[in-house]
Amino acid sequence: MTTVLDNPEKIKQIDKSNMLNDLAKTPDYCRDAIERAKQVNVPEGVNPKNIVIVGMGGSAIGGELLQGWLREKLPIPIEICRDYTLPAYTNKDTLIFANSYSGNTEETLTAFLTAIQRKCTVITVTSGGQLAAFCKKLQVPHVLIPSGLQPRVAVPYMFFPLPVLMQKLGILSDIEPELQEAIAVIEKVAKANAPAIPLNKNRSKQLATKLVGTMPVIYGFRQYIAISHRLKAQFNENSKVPSKSDAFPELNHNETVGYEAPEALNKMQSIILIRDSREPPEIRNRIETTTDLVLTRANKVLEIEAEGDGKLAKMFSVLCLGDFASVYLAILQNKDPTPVDIIVKVKKELAKKSGMKERFDSELSKLG
């Protein structure tokens, strides 16, 4: 079968900003992120009672990945804050990671300033902007990462510094083997799904081909809830299609009833189930029962099987495959995956109305 996905020249014409090349560099970004975090001096004597990771979009997903990975490992609660306001409980016993790729995300900057006022321990990850300027003037530890990437491509820089910093703070230990296995699996998946690998041997191309003309609906569980959110966002931003995500077992208490909708509506959806060879029996039973009784009403039911041994490696194996699939789906629709024109327009309109930039500039000037 002839497909545009096996035509390198046509791919280059559509993928004008070469996002596929950025995806291929993901393992290098992971290694660089780790090394940059290792160079950061962190405060001593930090013993947080809770951790809050502040960020939006691609800058928030790193925190969500951390939360999912450590859910059954770390006794300290982790919360993701995708808003201007911090939870009321945040105080001097809170560790705040403020992630903003651009450094100019108004929600993150607002929450960052609140964290400083509440005397939280604050560490940031950014490529520059006003957040980096605040960190320099306030002497807040920060991981400075490369600029010039799309924030969603920079997820390695938004995730890998966090566990490294937590190890430096004494919150985590012995993480190196898990981090290195994750990078090795990312490298393997990236090579197996590269543009040069033909459709008949390329799982990401196969997945994208099956999704054409439908809305991807991704279902995960536990640590894969973050991955389902990531894939949903990638189909939105890269593929330029509606998408949604949900999680077992919660979806059995509400989402499944939605499949009583008219057949024509159900047939617009393609279900993607994230699977794991070691998934708990109670979750496996729910996935299989729900598929048999409900999900077959959709256009199709597809599965992504996690690869690797450790939890983190498995998470990133699915993430990496989904990233490639979202770009291939864009190419199949003759869409350049990189531009996000609507997001840019919304931000510009909000900037005109909010006055946030002027407020942050004023705050910076007060610091001298």
Q: Is residue 356 predicted with pLDDT exceeding 80?
A: no
Nearest to 27 by CA among 178, 148, 185: 185
Which residues are 94's β-sheet partners? 50
Q: Is residue 363 predicted with pLDDT exceeding 60?
A: yes
- Assigned domain for 298 exists: yes
Same domain, 50 and 168: yes
- Assigned domain for 358 exists: no
Model pLDDT, residue 107: 95
Tokens found for residue 18: 């070469």
* Residue 25 confidence class, pLDDT cut points 50, 70, 90: very high
Model pLDDT, residue 221: 98
Q: Is residue 211 predicted with pLDDT exceeding 70?
A: yes
Tokens found for residue 61: 């997903």
* Residue 1 confidence class, pLDDT cut points 50, 70, 90: low
253 is catalytic: yes
- The average confidence (pLDDT) of the chain is 96
Q: Which of 253, 348, 353, 366 is catalytic?
A: 253
Same domain, 186 and 303: yes
Listed in order, strand segments (DSSP E) in the chain are 50-54, 78-81, 94-100, 121-126, 142-144, 215-221, 244-248, 269-275, 300-305
Q: Is residue 367 predicted with pLDDT exceeding 80?
A: no
Q: Which of 300, 347, 357, 363 is catalytic?
A: 347
HSE, CB side, 13 Å, CA atoms: give it for residue 186.
24
Same domain, 215 and 90: no
338 Cβ neighbours under 8 A, 6+ residues apart: 15, 16, 17, 19, 150
At residue 211, what is the residue type?
A: L
Under a CB-based contact definition with an 8 Å cutoff, are residues 58 and 184 in contact? no
CA–CA dist 330, 250 (Å, integer): 30
* Residue 348 confidence class, pLDDT cut points 50, 70, 90: confident
- Assigned domain for 364 exists: no
Model pLDDT, residue 2: 79
- Assigned domain for 351 exists: no
Q: What is the CATH number of the domain that holds 131?
A: 3.40.50.10490
Region 17-44: what's the mean pLDDT? Answer: 97
Same domain, 232 and 312: yes
Same domain, 117 and 193: no
Measured from the Cβ of residue 79, the count of other Cβ atoms closer than 10 Å reads 16
Helices 176-192 and 26-38, axial angle in degrees (round to 10): 160
Under a CB-based contact definition with an 8 Å cutoff, are residues 56 and 105 in contact? yes
Same domain, 328 and 190: yes
Model pLDDT, residue 368: 55
Q: Where does residue 192 fall: left (phi above 0), alpha (psi -120 to 50 degrees), or beta otherwise?
A: alpha
Under a CB-based contact definition with an 8 Å cutoff, are residues 315 and 306 in contact? yes
DSSP 305-342: E--SSSHHHHHHHHHHHHHHHHHHHHHHTT--SS--HH
Nearest to 224 by CA among 164, 156, 272: 272
Q: In what order do the strands lie in the sheet with 78-81?
A: 78-81, 50-54, 94-100, 121-126, 142-144
Same domain, 223 and 271: yes
Region 145-162: what's the mean pLDDT? Answer: 96
Q: What is the pTM of this model?
A: 0.95
Domain boundary pick from 173, 204, 223: 173
pLDDT tens profile 175-209: 999 999 999 999 999 999 999 999 999 999 999 99
- Assigned domain for 342 exists: no
Matching residue, tokens 């070469």: 18
In the chain, the number of structural domains is: 2
3 state DSSP class of 220:
strand
Q: Which of 64, 237, 279, 307 is catalytic?
A: 237
Same domain, 159 and 200: no
- Assigned domain for 189 exists: yes
201 is catalytic: no
Measured from the Cβ of residue 170, the count of other Cβ atoms closer than 10 Å reads 12
347 is catalytic: yes
Q: What range defines the domain where residue 275 resides?
A: 4-8+179-332
Q: Is residue 231 predicted with pLDDT exceeding 80?
A: yes
